Amino acid sequence: MLLILALIIFGALLFGFLITKTTKEVPKSWFEWKTEFKYQYLGMAGLIHDAQYAARDRVTLYKQPDRIAVITGGNRGIGLRIVEKLLACDMTVVMGVRDPVSAKSAVGAIVDLNQTKGKLICETLDVGDLKSVRNFAQRIAGKYPKIDVLLNNAGIMFAPFKLTADNYESHFAINYLGHFLLTHLLLPQLRAAGREGKNARIVNVSSCVNLIGSINYKDINGLNNYYPGAAYSQSKLAQILFTRHLQTLLDAEKAHVQVIAVHPGIVDTDLFEHSATTSVPFLKKIFFKTPERGARTVVYAAIEPSIEGQGGVYLSNCGRGPFHSSAKSPAKCERLFDYSCELLKIKEYGNGK
Ligand SMILES: NC(=O)c1ccc[n+]([C@@H]2O[C@H](COP(=O)([O-])OP(=O)(O)OC[C@H]3O[C@@H](n4cnc5c(N)ncnc54)[C@H](OP(=O)(O)O)[C@@H]3O)[C@@H](O)[C@H]2O)c1
C-alpha cells in the first residue's frame, strides 16, 4: 500500500517536472538538472507571490499628454498591453519593433487608433543587432529632444544557442547588451526630460529568475557549457546589476532620471515557446497572469507618482521584490557595467555617442 502511494507521489512529481521544464529536451548533465530544479522552485515561488499580492498589483492610469515613452517590443505579449495602457494615459508611444507595419495593426486590434488621444509611432528596431540599435536611437533622438520614459521590454527566453551578427549569445545580446547600448544612446534625451519632482524613468523588464543568475565573465556566450535557462537568468541578472550601477552614476551627477528593474509576474505569453509548458496551455491559462496583468507593474514603474525618486529598485507585483545578493554589491554592479562599456567601446556612458 505504502509502495503504491510512494509510486503515485513520485509519478505526480515527475509529471509536474516534465510539463514545466524550461526546455522540451531531457536535461543531460547535473548542471542542467540543477538549473531545472532551480527554475521549478522559482516558478512555484513566483506563482505564489503573484497570487499572494494580486490585490496590490494595480496601476492608476492618469492623463499625461505631454509625455513621450519609448518601448522595445510591444507588438505582442506584455509589451502590447503596456502600449495599450500608455496610450490610455494619452502619451506619445514610440515602439521599437522588428516589423512596424504589423506592430501598428497589433495595437490597432486592441486600441481604436482614431479615437485615442495617445499617439503611436512604430519604428524599426532589432535590439539584438547593435547597428540596428544605433540607427533606431539616432532616428528617435533626432525626432524627440526629450524622452520621458524608456521601457526596455523586448526579450527572448530559453532559446537554443545562437550568436547574433555581433557575435554575442542571443539572450545576452537581446535581453541585456542591446538595451544597455540603447539606454546609453538615449540618455541625453532622458536627462533633458527629467526635472525636479518629475524624473524621467528607465524601466528594465527583468525577471524573478535573476535570483539564480550568475555572470560568466570567463565565457559570457556560454560556448563551453550552453544551457538556455542559464543564459536567460544571466541576462536577467545583468539587467539588475545595470539598473543599480546606472542609478548610482545618475545620482552622482544629480540627473533627474531614475532607473527601475521589474519582474512582471509569471505571464501567459509566447515567451514560453521553447519550454515544456506549451504542452499544457490550460494550466498556463489557470495559473499564469494574463498579459494585461503582466503589464501592470511595468507601467507602475514607468508612471506611478508615489515611487518618484526611488531609483535603483526592483519591483514585483507593484511593490519591492527580492533580488540577487550580487546586485547589492556596488563593486559587482560596476564590474558588469565597465565590462559592457568595454565590449561596446563606450568611453563615457550616457553621452549619446
Ligand atoms: N512572460 C513572463 O512570464 C515573463 C516573466 C518575467 C519576465 N518577462 C520579461 O518580459 C518581457 C516581455 O516578455 P513577454 O512575456 O511579453 O514575451 P513575448 O510575448 O514573447 O514578447 C517578446 C517581445 O520581445 C520582442 N523581441 C524579441 N526579440 C527582439 C529583437 N531582437 N528585437 C526587437 N524586439 C524583439 C518581440 O518582438 P517580435 O514579435 O519581433 O519577436 C516581442 O514584442 C521580456 O523581457 C521577458 O524576459 C516575462
Domain of 89, CATH number, reads 3.40.50.720
The count of domains in the chain is 1
pLDDT tens per residue, range 211-262: 999 999 999 999 999 999 999 999 999 999 999 999 999 999 999 999 999 9
Tell me whether residue 9 is in a domain: yes
Residue nearest ligand 1's atom 6 by CA: 207
Tell me whether residue 15 is in a domain: yes
339: annotated active-site residue: no
CA distance 138 to 132: 10
Instruction: Measure 175 CA to ligand 1 centroid, in angstroms.
Output: 9
Tell me whether residue 50 is in a domain: yes
Tell me whether residue 178 is in a domain: yes
Which domain does 34 fall in, by range? 2-344
- Sheet containing strand 149-152, edge to edge, reads 119-124, 92-97, 68-72, 149-152, 200-205, 257-263, 313-316, 319-320
- pLDDT for position 223: 96
Q: What is the pLDDT along the chain (353 residues), one digit of tens a residue?
A: 888 888 888 787 777 777 888 988 889 999 999 999 999 999 999 999 999 999 999 999 999 999 999 999 999 999 999 999 999 999 999 999 999 999 999 999 999 999 999 999 999 999 999 999 999 999 999 999 999 999 999 999 999 999 999 999 999 999 999 999 999 999 999 999 999 999 999 999 999 999 999 999 999 999 999 999 999 999 999 999 999 999 999 999 999 999 999 999 999 999 999 988 888 888 889 999 999 999 999 999 999 999 999 999 999 999 999 999 999 999 999 999 999 999 999 999 999 99
Atom of ligand 1 nearest to the CA of 79: 16
Q: Indicate whether residue 125 lines ligand 1 (CB < 6 A).
A: yes
Q: Report how far Cα 83 is from the mean position of its chain's Cα atoms.
A: 15
Residue nearest ligand 1's atom 19 by CA: 77
- pLDDT for position 19: 81
Tell me whether residue 25 is in a domain: yes
Q: Indicate whether residue 238 lines ligand 1 (CB < 6 A).
A: no
Tell me whether residue 350 is in a domain: no
Tell me whether residue 55 is in a domain: yes
Tell me whether residue 352 is in a domain: no
Q: In whole angstroms, how far apart are CA 301 and each of 80, 97, 98, 152, 298?
A: 16, 21, 25, 12, 5
The residue annotated as part of the active site, out of 144, 232, 300, 314, is 232
- pLDDT for position 277: 87
